A and B are shown apart, each in its own frame.
Chain A
Amino acid sequence: MNWLIAISNILINPIFYKSMLNNATPLIFASLGGTYSETTGVVNIALEGIMLAGAFASVVFTYITGSPWIGVLMAMYVGGAMGMLHALASVKYKGDQIVSGTALILLSQGITGFLLQRIFGEPGSSELVKTLPTWNIEIFRRIPFIGSIIGNLSPLVYIAFICVILSHFLIFKTKLGLRMRAVGENPEAADTLGINVYNVRYFGVIMSGVLASLGGAFLSVGELGQFTENMSNGRGFIALAAMIFGNWKPFGAMWASLLFGMAESFSYQIQTQSILRLPPEIKYLFLMIPFVLTLVVVAGFVGKTRSPASDGIPYEKE
């Protein structure tokens, strides 16, 4: 009974939904990124590391310039560069995509940890910097209940959803999108039709870096105004699960990210329900919810969704 009351308390509180959107945003960016990369046939598990680098770069450049927007732009630049590195290793030099991705994650953790101390003088976390000012959207705000959820959020939240729509349009309605899908399914066929397989894959992987780093920037200058060590905290991997659950489609990735965002939001809100009288250490169990959900999703749905046929296989011309 107490549980029912607690859960309905959560469900009628707009904060639950607002926190869901905030939690989902980095996942949406990163899972969109994964979708770009894997649609063209390159597995990018480096998302985790790219998010971390994006979070760090945005804080550093906000700290230097005083403008969080410049921080976000530089995060995109750094993310694109890391995507480029992954593309060089796995597209041009045909290295193992998992190995290259893992290397990038470790590289990113090492470099951010090192530079954190160098720039801010102490380990663990950076100084506080300006966050992106939230956007007040009057039309939304006037809607009862919903308005208090979506009327006043970080601009990156709105941008995430706009990116979903644009990505869907790009992948399914444009010439480039058709070519991306063809390259991910059967690169040899695309090649025989005069399509440059490598260029299309470079595009996909670089875009995945840019988008994932936006997710990272949201974590730091979008929400917290600070960088803490290893702050992506597994979100890159959850984003990969969201991409799979979303069947390698932008809207699918969005819905899956929202589900994971909701799970995360729930795991925080349930702890605030005093009626349950939960022991404080239980929070560690609740923090597992998103990961358990990831496991269930990946184990339960992988066979039912369909990845691009050449996903993960380097393309070699004769």
Chain B
Amino acid sequence: MGEKGEYNLSIAKSIMVEIDRMDIKKLSECKVAMIGITKRFPGVLANDKVNLYVKEGEIHAIVGENGAGKTTLMKQLYGLIKLDSGTIFMNGKKIVINTPGDAILNGIGMVHQHFMLVPPLTVAENIVLGMEPVKGIVFDINKAREDVKELSEKYALHVDPDVKIEDISVGMQQRVEILKTLYRGADLLILDEPTAVLTPQETEELFTVMKSLKKQGKTIIFITHKLNEVMAITDYVTVMRLGKVTGRVNTKDTNPNELARMMVGRNVLLRVNKKPPHFGKKIFEIKDLWVKDNRNLDAVKGLSLQIRKGEILGIAGVAGNGQSELVEAITGLRRAEAGKIVFDGMNITNWTPKQVRKAGIAHVTEDRLKYGLIVKYPISYNFILAHYDEVPYSNGGFLNFNTINTKADKLIKEFDVRTPSRDVLVGALSGGNQQKVIVAREFYFTPKFAVVAQPTRGLDIGAIEFIHNKILEMRDKGIGMLLVSMELEEIFSLSDRIAVMYEGEIMGIVKPEETTVETVGLMMAGARLTEIKADDSRYEEKDV
């Protein structure tokens, strides 16, 4: 061990001693403290001696990349996962939590990243489920309804108790989730990535709710990886990386760059470097496209757009507003009911996926495991999925393994896929490397146009950086691109123009440098650009 290593070790030791000293004093003033939490899944150490201290009445952020162990830690606190070792203290007393029931009894409530609601049941039924009021042996729905009304007034979380969950918006569903915890008397709320599914305006509303809950004495643990949200709403931050706590800091004493460094373990560029665009002529056009979803309802309603060579058109919008159906219609996976899709002068409407590909359109699929890859195939096979039947990869019906293997090695190197060999099954790679395999496959065969959906969902910052750079590289080579993403930041940093989709229609098309997140947010919630502009000018007139 070199001099530097010893130096690091001594720092680590001193930190450990400091933490030990803090323990005793801190425990008594903590709402909840988790000490020495270790959780091992097959092949992964998800939590490694994690200590967490949350003070009463604070909004406490836990930040970290995907796979850092935030959710695992919280699931142990809520009794959804049993802990291997470690102790939980609440209000200074040691408690044991084996089931969610135990957590509820201790006043802990959790709002999960994927909502835990029963869609065909009503709001009131969902809220009281598990603690139902009864009259004799009958479930007392009237009492449930009154309780919910009372609760929603007390916390200013307005909901209609009688509508079914499947009929209300995501933001409203989240309120129901919060009310569920409050109905059970929770005074410690865990919110797991609550803003991931919300529009910017809904996020603002959520923050207002969080502040008012804090005022009423509730303690909130807020899990996120969005650093601006941490800065906006929290009091204290615990940073996690690879299962360990890598930082604890008062929010007011830190900044996004420092937090990012603690999250990733190195300096990161939070913005991509985008070169000025060189647009060519129009390569892709959609005219009045209509597409239906699986329930046979209109999902895309008369959508039109145009994309030039060397241009990235970003589609922003809350999930489920027809983006998936649009992508599937373009790539031949779903039938277009009406309208026209024109690519490079050809009408490619309702072509088969294979025809679309041969014409020169690449497709980075939204769900990499479901549509993008065959997880039980090795990397080398996944590279040729679209070209296995072409020379030189096969000849007369037989695969040509030499070419396939050479190609695989080349792509692995060029796209920095971290794998011991080309024969590793794709399912065994990390999410980031899986995505690199897809991007390599789609971009290597030099398409003329690319449909890129959710290219960085669930990836860590390093992989995001890499894939963003690849996308921009393609754009600078003159390839037109349709980018669909739920991440506004991604849309803003990559797109040359942003089209906002709401309920199957485009609310407006703007340039990222000429617009604001607020404007795009309003469009995501259903306002048309023309209406927003009209409103703005009215205000301006008033000012004058």
Contacts and interface: CB of A to CB of B under 8 A. Distances in A.
Interface of A: 173-175, 177-179, 181-182, 185-186, 188-195, 306, 309, 317-318
Nearest to A195: B130
A318 B80 contact: yes
Interface string B120-132: 1100011001111
A189 B181 CA distance: 13
Contacts of B75: 318
B139 A186 contact: no
A177 B80 contact: no
B71 to A, nearest CB: 10
B342 interface: no
Contacts of A179: 129-130, 132
B96 interface: no
B372 interface: no
A155 B137 CA distance: 27
Nearest to A182: B118
Contact of B121 (A173, A178, A195): A178
Contact of B81 (A173, A188, A318): A318
A90 to B, nearest CB: 21
**Among A173, A182, A188, A190: residue with most chain B CB under 10 A:** A182
Contacts of A188: 116
B119 interface: yes
Interface residues of B, number: 28
A318 B3 CA distance: 44
Contacts of B80: 191-192, 317-318
A274 B490 CA distance: 79
B198 interface: no
A318 B114 CA distance: 15
B175 interface: no
Contact of A174 (B110, B120, B125, B138): B138
Given A190-B130, A193-B130, A194-B100, A182 B139 contact: no
A178 B119 contact: no
Given A192-B110, A193-B180, A173 B119 contact: no
B164 to A, nearest CB: 11
Given A181-B118, A182-B118, A190 B138 contact: no
B6 to A, nearest CB: 40
A174 B118 CA distance: 17
A181 to B, nearest CB: 7
A251 B99 CA distance: 36
B139 A175 contact: yes
B119 A194 contact: no
A193 B120 contact: no
B137 A193 contact: no
A174 B139 contact: yes
A34 to B, nearest CB: 19
A189 B120 CA distance: 13
A185 B78 contact: no
19 contacts: A174-B138, A174-B139, A178-B132, A179-B129, A179-B132, A181-B120, A185-B118, A185-B121, A186-B116, A186-B118, A188-B116, A189-B116, A190-B118, A190-B130, A192-B116, A193-B116, A194-B101, A309-B119, A318-B80
**Among A179, A185, A188, A194: residue with most chain B CB under 10 A:** A194
A173 B138 contact: yes
B315 interface: no
A185 B99 contact: no
B110 A189 contact: no
Contact of A182 (B78, B110, B129, B131): B129
Contacts of B12: none
Contacts of B481: none
Interface in B120-178: 120-121, 125-126, 129-132, 134, 137-139
A172 B417 CA distance: 54
A318 B83 CA distance: 12
Contacts of B120: 181, 185, 306
B112 interface: yes
A193 B126 CA distance: 10
Given A185-B118, A185-B121, A195 B139 contact: no
A167 B116 CA distance: 27
A194 B120 CA distance: 20
A207 B99 CA distance: 27
A192 B119 contact: no
B121 A181 contact: yes
Contacts of A177: 139
Contacts of A192: 78, 80, 100, 110, 112, 116
A156 B421 CA distance: 68
A28 to B, nearest CB: 24
A193 to B, nearest CB: 3
Contacts of A309: 119
Contacts of B99: 194
A195 B180 CA distance: 14
Nearest to B138: A173
Contacts of A182: 118, 121, 129
Given A173-B139, A191-B80, A191-B100, 12 more contacts: A174-B134, A174-B137, A175-B137, A177-B139, A179-B132, A181-B120, A188-B116, A190-B129, A192-B78, A193-B104, A193-B180, A309-B119
Contacts of B132: 175, 178-179
List the 8 closest A-B pairs by CB distance, nearest first: A194-B101, A193-B130, A189-B116, A175-B132, A185-B118, A182-B118, A192-B116, A175-B139
Contacts of B139: 173-175, 177-178
A39 B78 CA distance: 27
A192 B75 CA distance: 10
Contacts of A175: 132, 134, 137, 139
Contact of B130 (A174, A194, A317): A194
